[in-house]
Amino acid sequence: MTEMTELLESARREYAKSFGGNEPRISVFAPGRVNLIGEHTDYNGGFVLPMALPLVTVIVGSPRDDGHISIVTTAEGADKPHTVEFEAPQQGKPLVPGAPKWSNYVKGVIEHYRAGPVPGFNAVIASNVPLGGGLSSSASLEVATYTFLQQLCNDDGDTVQKALACQKAEHTFAGVPCGIMDQFISVMGREGHALLIDCRSLDVTSLPLADPGLAVLITNSNVRHELTGSEYPERRRQCEEAARTLKKESLRDASMEDLEAMKESLTKTCYKRAHHVISEITRTTDAADALQRGDYKAFGKFMVESHNSLRDDYEVSCPELDELVAIALEVPGVYGSRMTGGGFGGCTVTLLETSAAERAKQQIKAKYRGTPTFYIAKPSAGSGIMTV
């Protein structure tokens, strides 16, 4: 039995327990993601290179005819209470954010759903995407919720607008001014491929990532991060300030020459933030070219440069992530390693020979001061319907 099937079965058992022994009529999933390279570039109109993961959020449920919504989550680490009840949104009575935090991702998607009206429903949420791990548990929940609503009342099926509606939910209900990458890859993920996403045009290039001799190792530092703090919005504000000083619409339009020419007009901090973003956008397209050629050594080099830039210029790494990267890079057969996600904890992603994966895990276990969790990841499909 696969992990996704086990997750579905556990959600169905919880549904029967919570809702009077009934069977759910709808079952959907949406994946988390790991970003191979291109960090903090999405909200600057740049390029990112993520892949969808076999780690997913599953939602099972059924409609009800009284306009009432009742949702239970079994996700490990979700704040309490684990059950919420509220009325479906009506004309003049929109939903509003509140406690618990996890419910805001769901409420935001319901409020911004592009068809409707959304009827009442019962639902159970189950997830094996680690919360706060930098693998986009929030986008996975948002996209799963939208996919569930599509089964209740069809929208027009526009996948780009689906991702944008989920992003809007995170902005307005969770208070995180995220870029489009996480929602986009959760909707659009393609099995056996990473996606190079142009976050300005939303054009997508699929890059094969199915070489059996190549593995993607995700290591969770198990240091929890919260992006609703001041750090994420502050980094975004600093990038916008740098773009204004450079007289550019966004840092996507700036070159390193532009940045150096205006260095004296920027604060030291804004200069460093811009230096990361401008160099990271170039690194990401160069890394995509390397992946297309099958040049894994070059790709790994770009990963390490990305981590160093996130550590020194963007200042979103932490000692645990730096330690995990350093240990991984000691292992023969490792091409590259870097922090992934928003930062301040969470996970690293390591590209390595498949034959080196077990050796890397053992070395990290032996040397890392914390207690790591590992996932060997294959590029997976985006959101969809499951057979109940």
pLDDT value of residue 114: 94
The set of residues, in sequence order, having a beta carbon less than 8 Å from that of 179 and lying 6+ positions away, is 41, 42, 43, 44, 48, 167, 199
Do both 263 and 161 map to the same domain? Answer: no
Higher pLDDT, 226 or 386: 386
Q: Which domain holds residue 352?
A: 209-377
Q: Are 45 and 199 in contact (CB under 8 A)?
A: yes
Do both 175 and 315 map to the same domain? Answer: no
**Helix or strand (DSSP H, E) at 49:** strand 47-64
Do both 130 and 246 map to the same domain? Answer: no
CATH number of the domain enclosing 248: 3.30.70.890
Do both 69 and 124 map to the same domain? Answer: yes
Do both 200 and 258 map to the same domain? Answer: no
pLDDT of 46 > 80? The answer is yes
Q: Taking residues 99-121, what's their average pLDDT?
A: 95
Do both 247 and 303 map to the same domain? Answer: yes
Range with the largest mean pLDDT of 56-65, 129-138, 172-181: 56-65
Residue with tokens 């790709």: 299
Do both 353 and 254 map to the same domain? Answer: yes
Half-sphere exposure of 117 (CA within 13 A, CB side): 15
**Helix or strand (DSSP H, E) at 85:** strand 83-87
pLDDT of 388 > 80? The answer is no
pLDDT value of residue 223: 87
Do both 7 and 74 map to the same domain? Answer: yes
- The catalytic position among 65, 66, 158, 182 is 182
Do both 91 and 186 map to the same domain? Answer: yes
211 is catalytic: no
The pTM of the full predicted model, rounded to 2 decimals, is 0.93
In which band, very low, low, confident or very high, does the pLDDT at 228 lie, cut at 50, 70 and 90?
very low
Residue 68 structure tokens: 């009432």
Do both 159 and 234 map to the same domain? Answer: no
